[in-house]
Structure 1
Amino acid sequence: MDLSLARIRCLTSFLPRYTRPTIHIAGTNGKGSTTAFVDSILRHAGFLTGRFNSPHLVSIRDSILLDGHPISPDDYNQAFQSVATANQIGDCRCTNFELQTATALLVFERGFVDVAILEVGLGGRLDATNVIPDDVVLVSGISSIDLDHQAVLGDTLEQIAVEKAGIARTGRPCVLGVQSSQEVMDTVQKSVSAAGGRFIYVSEQVQQTRTTIGLQGTHQVSNAKLAVALVEALMQTPSLRQVRLEQVARGLSLVTWPGRLEWINYSKYTDRGRDTWLLADGAHNPASAEALAQYLASLPISRPRSFVVSISQSPLKSPRSTLEVILLAGDRVAVVPFGPVDGMPWVKPHDPTVVLQAAKELVGASGEAVMRGDLGSALNWAADDHPVVVVTGSLYLIADLYRLLLPRWP
């Protein structure tokens, strides 16, 4: 993987200059949830928002949202064609992600959004989203940092933190979310100061409040706090209208974010005679798996628990490193490969036989692990006499779940 801003800088030189006020968010885990919180708060305060997330789920269009909704096929095709033409004229040779990023920026520019919220794809410093001009960035945010994508970002937390902090801008606030590592906090603060930015840390001390949040899991409290701190920093911009406390509360409570501890009544989409609930979560690394494990431990789910899992290929990350955080002895696991990813042909599932072997070792003789060729048969096996099935290991597997249910999706 060749992380570089050279190609997308070439591309954007052939497109209208991007001018929309922007919140830029990086991190290892929680950055997508944070964008969802920020988006929801601002929309409930009357802002017209644009939001760019990656990866997409069912369609490549659902990574680009206007006012909380995926853009229409016509709007997407028109913007993408402009970007593709510019890429060809300039011989920029952009990657698919760079083309998608430029498409999102063009959509937001044409839509004249009040505020755009951009999620970094990978790292930060050399990520395609970091092509945006310095003057449009009103505030940067960094969610939880952990080891992930070490082959690209570096082997240590310090190296990864430096890459994430590369989105900081001179004279602008950069808000760091709650971290478990003092080394990360020190590194980000040093990097932000070196960039001439204003460092803000979201204290882990939780303030008493009656506000509820719409996303499940205790880890979402930290993401919500980061989102609120970003909005507070945003409100220091004189030209923007202020956000009232009741609008913050409403935005936090009504937020949605597919595939993150999301409960789905599977019985509504099948002919099963009794209720079966799916818990869909895209946990794909040890840190996000730990958040899932803590949530599962808080639920009154009888043993043995039942899972459907798929893991994507990733250098320096073994299937066991994720699964060992979630699975317990005695659990039931169906391993299944996820299907082709729209617009991302390089993304592949990990060898199912390797995933299966890891699952068998973890659930032990008292558990059961099987391989299934498709998600439908895996779900039927996992749901047999089990009212709850956890579908996890990759957001691409969650995307397959949506596609499976799409004909009868609300």
Structure 2
Amino acid sequence: MSEPPIRGDGARSANPDLDRLLVEAQRLHPKKIDLTLDRLRRVLTELGNPEASLPPVFHVAGTNGKGSVSAFLRASLEAGGKSVHVYTSPHLVRFNERVRLGGTLVEDAALMSALSRVMEANGGRPLTFFELTTAAAFLEFARVPADALILEVGLGGRFDATNMVAPAGTAACGLTHISLDHQQFLGDNLVDIAAEKAGIAKAGVPLIAAHHSAPLMHRIAQAADEAGATYLPRGNLWDATFSRNGIDYRDRHGELRLSAPALKGRHQHENAGLAAAMLRHQDKIAVPDSALRAGPRWASWPARLQQLTEGTLIAPLPDGVTVTLDGGHNPGAGAAIGQYLKRRRTRGQRQPVTLIVGMVEGKDVPGFLQQVAPHADRLIAVPITGHVHESPDRIRDVASSLGLTAETAADVTAALSHAGAEGPPRDIMVCGSLYLAGEMLDANGTPPN
């Protein structure tokens, strides 16, 4: 009998012992998301409050760009010789990707030990999967010494499990771009969403923010003031200008020429600038200017305009076919993908573009496709194996209404083979879901490491 499709993160493992724990953890609460900190606060107290023994924390919230800003922070800190823990979600292929200890993904044995400790302390009471796994991550981050910890918010900010970290242990908070997503939990307008995400603001801690519209800036400033945080939006006390050759960054400390980001897309220049501002406006860990300059060039973050050049699925494709993978799944992310495709064409790369798109249930299919469709010629809609997803037929129909030639395929592997057979030169963009991106990387034999 086949497994039912997964609603939520779909955390499984090839290790049967770890897989058993992950499945058991997902059964402790009937909901994937239930925003409150009371349950986690109780469990952390039972565990001896590991969140109070963490390295200096860099806390990152926002709708799009959280993972990329985290990658730039990590690259800059490591370029300065620092040991860095990182907590991100969701994973692409292996759950272990979420917990990076000093540059290495957490081992199964350590992860199982931490999960077991949390489950024992919880005593079978309701606890969401993200709350439980965040508590387990805190145990590992407190156990293994490091110079810094980068925490990516899971959803929202104010009631996110990562927001249990204390102000005294936080070096800086960062707020990336904000757009519509998860409205059923965060509100149905951008001002409400901004308030929830700005809820990571902490007393005495700088809140460094990307540029936002005036209404959002007003609400973020209000949240920062209520928390006793210093609000530092781009364009006020820090700013950055971008070119193909790098980033000209400036603040009250002076000016820096940062290297051009290794991550593709114009929006990555903004994410790199935000990461630099977070590091420049904190005083818990010294980061030399040389590391800030070099960091953007060394950042790596899979499934963010990631060009795949090798692997099981890529090898059979004819020369002249390029494959790019992006986990973007909301209108804001779609705009970044669309801008990337537009800039490729304006630079003379006018080969046909085929989109391979799969999206999980409940996502804004029209809003996402409206951003990417003007820059593509064809779309192949696919399911997302093992997850509750939007119907490929619906995705195809929306694409057709936007003027694209559209069809469906059985899965991403079949879609890629079909798109490649259309012949070079051709650009293929696989997008619409991080879970689809993970399926692609797994099938290609190129999981994150």
Q: TM-score by structure 2 length?
A: 0.83
Deviations along 1:253-297, one digit per CA (max 9) or x if unpaired, are: 111000001101257743344343211011111111111111111
Instruction: Tell me, yes or no, if structure 1 residue 373 matches structure 2 residue 410.
Output: yes
Aligned equivalent of 2:309, options 261, 265, 276: 265
Instruction: Provide the residue aligned with 2:443 in structure 1.
Output: 404
Instruction: Provide the residue aligned with 2:262 in structure 1.
Output: 214
Unaligned runs of 5+ in 2: 1-32, 242-246, 249-256
State how far apart, in whole Å, the 2-side matches of 1:381 and 1:59 are. Answer: 28
User: Which moved further from structure 2: 79-88 or 147-156?
Assistant: 79-88
The Cα shift of 1:67 comes to 2.5
Instruction: Provide the residue aligned with 1:283 in structure 2.
Output: 328
Instruction: Provide the residue aligned with 2:8 in structure 1.
Output: none
Instruction: Tell me, yes or no, if structure 1 residue 359 matches structure 2 residue 382.
Output: no
Instruction: Tell me, yes or no, if structure 1 residue 200 matches structure 2 residue 232.
Output: yes
Where in structure 2 are the equivalents of 1:37-52 lying within 5 Å? 37-52=72-87
Instruction: Tell me, yes or no, if structure 1 residue 170 matches structure 2 residue 170.
Output: no
Which letter does structure 1 place at the counterpart of 2:48? P
- Please give the secondary structure, in 2, of the residue aligned with 1:228: helix
Q: Are the counterparts in 1 of residues 97 and 448 from structure 2 also a CA contact under 8 Å? A: no
Runs of 4+ aligned residues of structure 1 deviating over 6 Å after TM superposition are 407-410
Taking only aligned residues, the RMSD between alpha carbons, in angstroms, comes to: 2.0
- Please give the secondary structure, in 2, of the residue aligned with 1:43: helix
Unaligned runs of 5+ in 1: 341-346
State how far apart, in whole Å, the 2-side matches of 1:330 and 1:194 are. Answer: 45
Which letter does structure 2 place at the counterpart of 1:190? Q
Instruction: Tell me, yes or no, if structure 1 residue 253 matches structure 2 residue 297.
Output: yes
- Please give the secondary structure, in 1, of the residue aligned with 2:58: strand
The Cα shift of 1:85 comes to 1.8
Aligned equivalent of 1:328, options 349, 361, 374: 374
Instruction: Tell me, yes or no, if structure 1 residue 75 matches structure 2 residue 110.
Output: yes
Instruction: Tell me, yes or no, if structure 1 residue 129 matches structure 2 residue 145.
Output: no
Q: Are the counterparts in 1 of residues 303 and 434 from structure 2 also a CA contact under 8 Å? A: yes
- Please give the secondary structure, in 2, of the residue aligned with 1:334: strand
Q: Are the counterparts in 1 of residues 260 and 269 from structure 2 also a CA contact under 8 Å? A: no
Instruction: Tell me, yes or no, if structure 1 residue 295 matches structure 2 residue 340.
Output: yes
Q: Are the counterparts in 1 of residues 317 and 417 from structure 2 also a CA contact under 8 Å? A: no
State how far apart, in whole Å, the 1-side matches of 2:79 and 2:446 are. Answer: 30
Instruction: Provide the residue aligned with 1:112 in structure 2.
Output: 145
State how far apart, in whole Å, the 1-side matches of 2:315 and 2:204 are. Answer: 55
Q: Are the counterparts in 2 of residues 306 and 383 from structure 1 also a CA contact under 8 Å? A: no
Aligned equivalent of 2:64, options 29, 33, 46: 29
State how far apart, in whole Å, the 2-side matches of 1:200 and 1:60 are. Answer: 34
Deviations along 1:339-358, one digit per CA (max 9) or x if unpaired, are: 22xxxxxx521122211211
User: Would you say how many aligned residue pairs link Structure 1 and Structure 2?
Assistant: 392
State how far apart, in whole Å, the 1-side matches of 2:196 and 2:446 are. Answer: 41
The percent identity for this pair of structures is 32
- Please give the secondary structure, in 1, of the residue aligned with 2:398: helix
Instruction: Provide the residue aligned with 2:13 in structure 1.
Output: none
The Cα shift of 1:205 comes to 4.6
Aligned equivalent of 1:393, options 426, 432, 442: 432
Structure 1 residues 45 and 318, CA gap change in structure 2 (3 angstroms):
same
State how far apart, in whole Å, the 2-side matches of 1:133 and 1:245 are. Answer: 28
- Please give the secondary structure, in 1, of the residue aligned with 2:207: strand
The Cα shift of 1:333 comes to 1.1
The Cα shift of 1:371 comes to 1.0
State how far apart, in whole Å, the 2-side matches of 1:408 and 1:289 are. Answer: 23
State how far apart, in whole Å, the 1-side matches of 2:37 and 2:98 are. Answer: 21
- Please give the secondary structure, in 1, of the residue aligned with 2:46: coil
The Cα shift of 1:328 comes to 3.0
